[in-house]
């Protein structure tokens, strides 16, 4: 008899598991969609040149911290599209949108993609604050 798995179980099998970052005291595991979201965050927050063995890996998003917020939003959107298309082969990017709040200096990126192994659509909201250091804890 055929065995049916839930969408969550299918994602865990196809996307695997990894160590949760940042490491806080002990090693914890993340699975499935959480692994993919974590890997995308790591990619977007890595400045090209930071990784010794992969100097081209990363996204120029953090280089825009001190730019004018409108300029940072436009360049950031292009940088996100370029980085995801180049380095994240588990997804097909369908669009990136931006929302700018000049009063708070917050740029919100809406990253839409399809997971290739499951054909599941995902909308990832990625906040970026212009003029400050980034902190994702």
| pLDDT computed for residue 54 by the predictor | 92
**CA 121 → CA 4, 87, 94, 96, distances in Å?**
20, 19, 9, 13
| pLDDT computed for residue 103 by the predictor | 87
* Mean pLDDT per 10-residue interval, the chain, length 137 residues: 56 60 71 86 92 92 84 94 96 96 90 92 89 49
Please state the pTM of the whole predicted model: 0.79
pLDDT digits (tens, 9 = 90+) for 97-131: 999 998 888 999 999 999 998 888 999 999 987 65
| pLDDT computed for residue 11 by the predictor | 58
- Give the whole-angstrom CA distance, residue 127 versus residue 92: 21
Residue ranges and CATH numbers for the domains of the chain are 7-129 (3.10.450.40)
- Give the whole-angstrom CA distance, residue 136 versus residue 131: 16
């Amino acid at each position: 008899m055929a065995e049916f798995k839930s969408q969550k179980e299918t994602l865990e099998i196809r996307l695997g598991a990894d160590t949760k970052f940042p490491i806080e005291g002990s090693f914890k595991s993340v699975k499935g969609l959480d692994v993919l979201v974590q890997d995308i965050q790591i990619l977007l927050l890595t400045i090209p040149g930071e990784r010794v063995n992969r100097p081209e890996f990363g996204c120029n998003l953090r280089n825009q911290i001190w730019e004018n917020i409108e300029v940072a939003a436009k360049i950031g959107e292009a940088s996100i599209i370029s980085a995801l298309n180049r380095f994240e082969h588990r997804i097909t990017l369908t669009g990136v949108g931006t929302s700018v709040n000049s009063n708070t200096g917050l740029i919100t990126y809406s990253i839409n993609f399809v997971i290739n192994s499951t054909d599941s659509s995902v909308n990832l909201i990625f906040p970026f604050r212009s003029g400050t250091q980034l902190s994702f804890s």
